[in-house]
Amino acid sequence: MIGYLLRRLGYALPIMLGVSFLCFMLVYLAPGDPLVSILPADASAELQKQMMQLYGFDRPLIEQFVRWLWRALQGDLGHSIATSRPVVDEVFKAVGNTLMIAVLATLIGFTLGALFGFVAGYFRNSWGDRLASFVSVIGVSLPNYWLGMVLVIVFSAQLMWLPATGAGPGGSGSWTWDWEHVQYLILPALTMSFIPMGIVARTVRALVADILSQEFVVGLRARGLGEWGVFKHVVKNCAPTALAVMGLQLGYLLGGSILIETVFSWPGTGFLLNQAIFQRDLPLLQGTILVLALFFVALNLLVDVLQTIFDPRIERG
Amino acid sequence: MPDMQTAHSPMIRLHDLQVEFRVPGKRVQAVNGVNLEVGPGEVVALIGESGSGKSVTLRALMRLHPERTTHYAGTLEVAGRDVLKMGKRELAQLRGSSVAMIFQEPLLALDPVYTLGQQITEAIRQHAPVSRAEARARALRLFEKVRIPSPERRLDAYPHEMSGGMRQRAMIALALACEPQVLLADEPTTALDATVQIQILLLLRELQRELGLSIVFVTHDIGAAAEIADRMAVMYAGRIIEQGPAAELLTRPRHPYTRALLKSRSEGAMQKGRRLDTIQGAPPDLSRLPAGCAFAERCAFAAETCLGGQPEETRVGPEHSVRCWRLDELPAQGGPVQRAEPVNG
């Protein structure tokens, strides 16, 4: 098992290196000058040159990349051009915020999705199946920023049950786990949960239907197992794939949904990316993308490892 | 009423059993009036082509077909109890503890993500109030009984980690976990190599004698059936068209289909350069069965009378019965003497 883990980590390293290279280079494909946002419009050529040198933009791209990567390995992603604060601080604060709604959204989405999926898979072509399939199609295909706005209109503007935007009465700086703050989580997390719910429901439905049609289920019944006994076997057979799908969904959600976080003014990674793009804040953009990409790689690794634990048929050798 | 049962009453009694699958727009009559009795300690082989209803009959014995789409009719008694009238609880009690089943492909019939030990202890604890440790000890004894080498270690193996023969042994151990009286075997040797087949057949026979099991052995392999069965029943289009003591049926088959089936075997004294006799045509569509004898359109002896209705079961020996309209007009032995033609003119 240890050997397997090390080998998997070994495979992940070149992926991470490639990802960081892409992160760094991609932002240069976009037009515009990174210093435009902080230099006054009438800045002299001399000042421009000084700033370029200060940020190192005058050096060859490869050299910039190597320097950037070297610092990144030491935990330094540079400073935001717009705010001058360390990118690492900005990113991890945003990741923390996104993590809250992403984990909550994944839990809601996975629970409801698995529930719908099991009902649909067990009672195929019943009204329950049709309802579950309808809900999962809605979940996947409904634009979630639109859904977010509708939820705000209903629960904030009309019913006035929940706050519409923000991350707590005093902003995200003073977060505590009390109702005062937690109520701000509910609408964004709920909006975000629709996509994993739809995807998990469809996956679980297909899995359950496939497993129930397999010969071993007849074998289980032939041993005298009741519905509950068979159900436990179905769950354990579904678990590896369903967990993998859940893990990947969590990975997507950690990237933050730019649209959802913008609708709810939630200071997460999506919100941060949005800011960085509009302000052409290159260090912030590169750093955010890098951290998110690495998260995704790590999560994939975790899912793979968990799968081998749950499913004995997957070779570790 | 199992306590009223005497040594002479059958373990399994089927009378006019019918199994019909109802799917939207279609009714498939898979079993159409099967009469069969299996005594205690008796081994009966159900023989037939695929789609003849042999496996459907076997699974009906535990009512394993999907309840929503399957319609049963007739009499179906196991150990003196009416299986068709059982509730969910009674049925679960019957399955595994009185009647157990082994399958054609154990790799598909065992749960892939549970170890064999887990599956056996689960089955034991399903029917007996014993501790996990006691159940595991029993599982270990079962593995020894079916002669699985290093049984302790194999209990912790997953199905895919074992060879085909070992898996089938494990499947047999699992089936015997709750000391059933009846063992249903659904082509248990078909997926195995020839040498392993023999080992499994010998093991089954040995266990059958030791435990006094009644076995229903479904197969299309007459050789395997001959190896293990006391009696044989030949199925065609959901009916038993001939049944009798194994030795008699093999040496003096009466029904044209049984004769053709025996001739189409490649084993035995096949002379070099001779063609293998085959049965022309295909079995009938079970959703559109003819009114008359279902074999008529492929039968060399078919006549006008065969198309009219179902032939009755006719006794031709103490335990030997045949369903054929033209029983009296058939040639005495082996069918019309058809010279097998040499391949090269």
Range from A88-102, B192-206, B257-271 carrying the lowest mean pLDDT: B257-271
Query: How far apart are the C-alpha atoms of A276 and A271, rounded to whole Å?
Result: 9
Residue B343's pLDDT band, with cuts at 50, 70 and 90, is very low
Tell me the average pLDDT across B249-274.
Answer: 78
| pLDDT top residue among A65 and B131 | B131
Range from A26-40, A245-259, A287-301 carrying the lowest mean pLDDT: A26-40
Percent of all residues in chain A with a pLDDT value above 70, rounded to a whole number: 93
Residue A316's pLDDT band, with cuts at 50, 70 and 90, is low
Tell me the average pLDDT across B225-231.
Answer: 93
Query: Do residue B92 and residue A216 have CB atoms under 8 angstroms apart?
Result: no
Which residues of A fall within a CB distance of 8 Å from B177?
223
Closest-CA distance, A218 to chain B, in angstroms, reads 7
The nearest alpha carbon in chain A to B87 belongs to: A226
pLDDT tens per residue, range A170-184: 665 666 777 777 788
**b/e string for B266-290 if b means 16 or more Cβ within 10 A?**
eeeeeeeeeeebebeeebbebeebe
Q: Where are the alpha helices (DSSP H) in chain A?
A: 2-29, 45-55, 61-73, 87-122, 127-141, 144-151, 179-212, 215-222, 227-254, 258-263, 269-278, 282-310
Q: Are A287 and A77 in contact (CB under 8 A)?
A: yes
Q: Is B213 left (phi over 0), alpha (psi -120 to 50) or beta?
A: beta
Contacts of A133 (CB under 8 A, 6+ apart): A120, A201, A202, A205
Residue A303's pLDDT band, with cuts at 50, 70 and 90, is confident
Point out the residue among A222, A224, A233 whose CB comes nearest to the CB of B111: A233
Contacts of A264 (CB under 8 A, 6+ apart): A148, A152, A164, A165, A166, A187, A188, A191
- Average model confidence (pLDDT) across chain A: 83
Percent of all residues in chain B with a pLDDT value above 70, rounded to a whole number: 90
pLDDT at B266: 57
- Residue A261's φ and ψ, nearest 5 degrees, are -70, -25
Would you tell me how many other CB atoms lie within 10 Å of the CB of residue A249? 24
Interface with A, mutate which of B55, B78, B94, B113 (most A CBs under 10 A): B113
The nearest alpha carbon in chain A to B120 belongs to: A223
Tell me the average pLDDT across B90-97.
Answer: 92
Query: How far apart are the C-alpha atoms of B252 and A27, rounded to whole Å?
Result: 87
pLDDT at B8: 62
pLDDT exceeds 70 at position A163: yes
Residue B267's pLDDT band, with cuts at 50, 70 and 90, is low
Closest-CA distance, A221 to chain B, in angstroms, reads 7
Residue A31's pLDDT band, with cuts at 50, 70 and 90, is low
Contacts of B97 (CB under 8 A, 6+ apart): A224, B127, B178, B179, B180
Which residues of A fall within a CB distance of 8 Å from B174?
223
pTM: 0.79
Tell me the CA distances in angstroms from B97 to A218, B26, B79, B106, B178, one per residue in order. Answer: 16, 35, 12, 19, 5
Query: Do residue B126 and residue A225 have CB atoms under 8 angstroms apart?
Result: yes
Tell me the CA distances in angstroms from B225 to A71, A164, B56, B181, B234, one per residue in order. Answer: 76, 75, 18, 20, 11
pLDDT at B1: 41
Query: How far apart are the C-alpha atoms of A303 and A250, rounded to whole Å?
Result: 11
Nearest to B173 by CA among B212, B207, B205: B207
Does A219 touch chain B if contact means CB atoms closer than 8 Å?
Answer: yes
Closest-CA distance, A213 to chain B, in angstroms, reads 11
For residue A273, what are its two tokens?
């990316």
Residue B274's pLDDT band, with cuts at 50, 70 and 90, is low
pLDDT at A174: 67
Tell me the average pLDDT across B112-124.
Answer: 94
Range from A16-20, B123-127, B280-284 carrying the lowest mean pLDDT: B280-284
- Residue B233's φ and ψ, nearest 5 degrees, are -130, 125
Query: How far apart are the C-alpha atoms of B162 and B151, rounded to whole Å?
Result: 12
Point out the residue among A215, A223, A311 whose CB comes nearest to the CB of B95: A223
Domain-wise residue ranges, chain A: 22-76, 87-310
pLDDT at B74: 95
Range from A22-26, A141-145, B302-306, B339-343 carrying the lowest mean pLDDT: B339-343
The nearest alpha carbon in chain B to A234 belongs to: B111
Query: Do residue B59 and residue A220 have CB atoms under 8 angstroms apart?
Result: no
Percent of all residues in chain B with a pLDDT value above 90, rounded to a whole number: 65
Q: Are B127 and B95 in contact (CB under 8 A)?
A: no
Point out the residue among B111, B126, B161 whose CB comes nearest to the CB of A216: B111
pLDDT at B246: 93
The nearest alpha carbon in chain A to B101 belongs to: A222
Q: Name the CATH superfamily, with its identifier, for domain A87-310.
A: MetI-like (1.10.3720.10)
Q: Are A184 and A163 in contact (CB under 8 A)?
A: yes
Which residues of A fall within a CB distance of 8 Å from B97?
224
- Average model confidence (pLDDT) across chain B: 88
Closest-CA distance, A101 to chain B, in angstroms, reads 33
Does A315 touch chain B if contact means CB atoms closer than 8 Å?
Answer: no
pLDDT at B342: 43
Which residues of A fall within a CB distance of 8 Å from B95?
221-224
Query: How far apart are the C-alpha atoms of A304 and B153, rounded to whole Å?
Result: 27
Query: Do residue B126 and residue A223 have CB atoms under 8 angstroms apart?
Result: yes
Query: How far apart are the C-alpha atoms of A303 and A309, rounded to whole Å?
Result: 10
Query: Do residue A219 and residue B88 have CB atoms under 8 angstroms apart?
Result: no
Query: How far apart are the C-alpha atoms of A197 and A295, rounded to whole Å?
Result: 21
Does B125 touch chain A if contact means CB atoms closer than 8 Å?
Answer: no
pLDDT tens per residue, range B301-335: 888 888 888 898 999 988 899 999 988 888 765 44
Residues 233-262 of A with CB under 8 A from B: 233, 236-237, 240
Residues 205-234 of B with CB under 8 A from A: none
- Helix (H), strand (E) at residue B92: helix B88-97
pLDDT exceeds 60 at position B268: no
pLDDT at B57: 95
Tell me the average pLDDT across B243-256.
Answer: 92
Residue B340's pLDDT band, with cuts at 50, 70 and 90, is very low
pLDDT tens per residue, range B171-218: 999 999 999 999 999 999 888 888 899 999 999 999 999 999 999 999
Does B113 touch chain A if contact means CB atoms closer than 8 Å?
Answer: yes
Residue B100's pLDDT band, with cuts at 50, 70 and 90, is very high
Closest-CA distance, A227 to chain B, in angstroms, reads 10
pLDDT at B3: 44
Specify burial of residue A287 (Cβ count, 10 A radius: 0-12, 13-18, 19+): buried
pLDDT at B333: 58
Query: Do residue B110 and residue A219 have CB atoms under 8 angstroms apart?
Result: yes
